[in-house]
Amino acid sequence: MSTETVTLERPGAASTGDGQGTRTAICGVRPLVLMGLTHLLTTRSPCEVVFASADGFPEPGTGIDLLLVEDTLAQELPERAAWRGRAPDVVVVRADATPDQVLRRVHEAVERRAPVATADRAPAGLSPREEQVLRFIASGMTHGQVARRIGISQHTVDTYVKRVRSKFGIGNKAELTRVALGLQPL
């Protein structure tokens, strides 16, 4: 079976910070999943899908704001340093994710990119960086993936997670995710 990369460029498209024009790329291994995600985002989200591929990732420096990746490809993500300028926010889509779950995670990623001060959204006692790490962990990323994504060491991610667990009296990953989901409800 042959697959191809589809680039859906629209002249003059630019990210506005409110989700409108959020340049989105979708990468996966199943063409039908790509088609479904493209349809979902173009009809039910403020994202503009400009790239969809079953063959690979968009080239760094192409101005992608948001990258949806099928979970089977998550380990193959380009390193943060490979992206020129600001690296895209990454949403890893599991095979069993419902459309509502995908949309919720996309909206959270769009809001993270919005020019709103993170400190304005952080709960009392949680630093902006702790909140950021917590959100990535809740989205399904490993500590190593979070570290690469935001350009810090895995040890530093571990430290942030320990601080969050201590502040909220959290003992396991499920409780950690519950706290993260409560940070910014839809």
Regarding whether 76 and 148 lie in a shared domain, the answer is no
Mean pLDDT, range 110-115, rounded to an integer: 70
Looking at 71, 88, 115, the residue that finishes a domain is 115
Q: What are phi and psi of 54, to 5 degrees?
A: -100, 5
Look at residue 108 in the predicted model and tell me its pLDDT: 85
Look at residue 167 in the predicted model and tell me its pLDDT: 81
pLDDT in tens, 25-69: 999 998 888 999 999 998 888 888 999 999 888 887 778 888 999
CA neighbor of 105 nearest in space, from 116, 92, 114, 123:
92
User: Could you give the angle at which helices 154-168 and 143-150 cross, rounded to 10 degrees?
Assistant: 110
Regarding whether 152 and 71 lie in a shared domain, the answer is no
Regarding whether 124 and 67 lie in a shared domain, the answer is no
69: domain range?
1-115
Regarding whether 131 and 98 lie in a shared domain, the answer is no
Regarding whether 120 and 91 lie in a shared domain, the answer is no
* Domain harbouring 147, CATH code: 1.10.10.10
Regarding whether 183 and 124 lie in a shared domain, the answer is yes
Look at residue 9 in the predicted model and tell me its pLDDT: 38
Regarding whether 80 and 32 lie in a shared domain, the answer is yes
Lowest mean pLDDT among 32-36, 80-84, 178-182: 80-84
Give me the number of domains the chain comprises. 2
Q: Label residue 89 by pLDDT band (50, 70, 90).
A: confident
CA neighbor of 62 nearest in space, from 38, 91, 83, 46:
83
CA neighbor of 183 nearest in space, from 148, 143, 132, 110:
132
Regarding whether 167 and 90 lie in a shared domain, the answer is no
Look at residue 85 in the predicted model and tell me its pLDDT: 64
Residue whose entry in the numeric block shows the structure tokens 């080239």: 59
Regarding whether 123 and 73 lie in a shared domain, the answer is no
Look at residue 121 in the predicted model and tell me its pLDDT: 43
